[in-house]
Structure 1
Amino acid sequence: MLTDTLRKVDNLMKNKFTAILVALCFCITSVNFTGLLTVSAATYGDYTYKVSNGEVTITGFDDSVSGAITIPAEINGYPVTAIDKDAFYGCDSLESIEIPNSVKIIGEGAFRYCYALTSVTISNGVTTIGEEAFEECSSLENIQIPDSVTSIGQWAFYNTAYYDDETNWADGVLYIGNHLIKADRD
């Protein structure tokens, strides 16, 4: 009889433990983690962007806009930290761009085929310029790259006016400021 009672108490304890464990798992999985990771797409003026982990990445731009633009340092309280791959691809009426110091990454092909682009000012803070970022920006002749840049992708400035200007090449080497862009002409 004592053995049966102990067995019932043991089973009751196991059932309670299992119930508590299931309830705890349910509570943990239903916690809202949106503060830790949020990804959403939206527009802000002429920009399309996404927010992830409290930071904005510019993902697109109205390609009918012309003239000079300054990329915002923040959108809706979130810092703009990246310009995504192909975000301004083919915006062939843009003439000059200022990139704020909040931006760390200029993505691959971000400004490719912006034919009217003549000037780019990259503020201190950018660390990476992706491959082909300004490729085929055939009018681009004024480029300012800060010392914060530690990585410049292959062909980042290929077929720009700066790249094609023979006077910018010294002994087969092309520099923009302190940054080696290409070590041989072709």
Structure 2
Amino acid sequence: KGVTSIGSWAFSSCTSLTSISIPDSVTSIGNRAFSGCTSLTSVTIGKGVTSIGEDAFGDCDKLVEVINKSNLNIAKGSSDNGYVGYYALKVKTDGQSDIVNKNDCLFYTYNNINYLLGYVGNDTNINLPKNLNGENYQIYKFAFWDCTSLTSITIPDSVTSIGRSAFSNCRSLTSITISDSVTSIGDEAFSGCYKLVEVINKSNLNITKHSSDNGYLGYYALNVKTDGQSDIVNKNDYLFYTYNNINYLLGYVGNETNLNLPENYNGENYQIYEYAFYNCTSLTSVIIPDSVTRIGNYAFYGGKELKTINYTGSEAQWESISKGDAWDWGTAYNINYNYVIPTNENA
């Protein structure tokens, strides 16, 4: 007979799920079965489904397409039937999904408007497609929401708007280029992008540092410029940025869990930027050189596996380093002073 029911909470918060087809053998979908599936873009409801539980598709903000083969009355914008049609741009009764995967970017076209719904690849530095079949497109709301591995992105000239919360909580995002075609940015599109220190604004939008306008785009920025290339530097998988003659270590993009921070940056001291290693739950130990002059807010926050900090300077030097709010919250480490780096460890 196959599967006949989908239980309550069965796929709840499965954030990597992008589409699902419910077979005809299924008669019921339980409460909150797919709630919080924030990447879900398309669902097919099989012929046998007679009931959908409360909030079964709640918070599926990108669920633009519903293919309803059942006898249920599923309507756009309705909270009935577990919100399955609430977020939909289109509800149809047959056919295949119209979601298109182009170079790991998911697109959907509705009423002659092309929407970029999200990204399903593994790159952390993304250049978005120049166009969709020769046409402009919009970045849909929540498209890259909570994509915590994304470090930089370039918006091409074909993009006309960036939707609400499109990049919110992209906590590793350090640099973005806004093309001259962008005319609008939705509310909180870049909220929670604490390390977005560099904005290259080629548009006519008035993007200013520390402003919550234009979706918080410039709110966290150290620098907003109108042309040129990114000044973020990758040094052995450590990302650095220099502004007003201060060097900042923004984060780490490698795979090591025992880190040996660079001895210096081009012969100079540097600061560990706020949120640099935020929620790095795989980090177990770190060597911090005495060239570090400050550790920013929340820099190692949530590093629950961080057991050892080896500091190459003295205890007095360590105590003199400026440390931001909650920089080590949630950690339980031992610290060793005057640490000598073994010769077999890379600087």
CA distance in structure 2 between the aligned counterparts of 1:139 and 1:87, rounded to whole angstroms? 19
Q: Residue 58 in 1 paired to residue 116 in 2? A: yes
For 1:97, what is the secondary structure of its paired residue?
A: strand
Equivalent residue number for residue 149 of structure 1: 205
Aligned AA for 1:132? Answer: E
Equivalent residue number for residue 139 of structure 1: 195
Q: Residue 97 in 1 paired to residue 127 in 2? A: no
How far apart are residue 153 of structure 1 and its match?
A: 7.3
For 1:156, what is the secondary structure of its paired residue?
A: helix
CA pair 146-159 structure 1, distance change in 2 beyond 3 A:
closer
CA distance in structure 1 between the aligned counterparts of 2:135 and 2:188, rounded to whole angstroms? 25
Match of 1:161 among 220, 226, 231: 220
Equivalent residue number for residue 144 of structure 2: 88
CA pair 66-138 structure 1, distance change in 2 beyond 3 A:
farther
Match of 1:46 among 87, 104, 112: 104
How far apart are residue 156 of structure 1 and its match?
A: 1.6
How far apart are residue 93 of structure 1 and its match?
A: 0.7
For 2:116, what is the secondary structure of its paired residue?
A: strand
CA distance in structure 2 between the aligned counterparts of 1:104 and 1:153, rounded to whole angstroms? 20
CA distance in structure 2 between the aligned counterparts of 1:67 and 1:99, rounded to whole angstroms? 14
How far apart are residue 117 of structure 1 and its match?
A: 0.6
Equivalent residue number for residue 71 of structure 1: 128
TM-score, with length taken from structure 2: 0.33
Q: Does the Cα contact within 8 Å between 1:127 and 1:150 map onto a contact in 2?
A: no
CA pair 149-159 structure 1, distance change in 2 beyond 3 A:
closer
After TM superposition, the structure 1 = structure 2 runs for residues 110-121 of structure 1, keeping only pairs within 5 Å, are: 110-121=166-177
Q: Which one has the bigger helix percentage?
A: 1
How far apart are residue 97 of structure 1 and its match?
A: 0.5
Aligned AA for 1:126? Answer: V
Gaps of 5+ in 1: 1-38, 169-175, 179-186
Q: Does the Cα contact within 8 Å between 2:108 and 2:117 map onto a contact in 1?
A: yes
Q: Does the Cα contact within 8 Å between 1:55 and 1:78 map onto a contact in 2?
A: no
Larger Rg: 1
CA pair 102-142 structure 1, distance change in 2 beyond 3 A:
same
Aligned AA for 1:68? Answer: N
CA pair 156-89 structure 1, distance change in 2 beyond 3 A:
same
Gaps of 5+ in 2: 1-96, 227-347
How far apart are residue 138 of structure 1 and its match?
A: 1.1
Post-superposition CA distance 1:104-161 (Å, at most 9, x none):
1000110111111100001111000111011101110001223433799757227953
Q: Which aligned segments of 4 or more residues in structure 1 are displaced greater than 4 angstroms?
A: 150-155
CA distance in structure 1 between the aligned counterparts of 2:153 and 2:177, rounded to whole angstroms? 6
- Give the percent of matched residue pairs that are identical in Structure 1 and Structure 2: 31
How far apart are residue 40 of structure 1 and its match?
A: 3.2
Post-superposition CA distance 1:4-50 (Å, at most 9, x none):
xxxxxxxxxxxxxxxxxxxxxxxxxxxxxxxxxxx932222321110
CA pair 158-122 structure 1, distance change in 2 beyond 3 A:
closer
Q: Which one scores higher on RCO, CA 8 angstroms, separation ≥ 6?
A: 1
**What RMSD, in angstroms, separates the aligned Cα atoms of the two structures?**
2.9
- What is the number of equivalent residue pairs in this alignment? 127
Aligned AA for 2:101? Answer: T
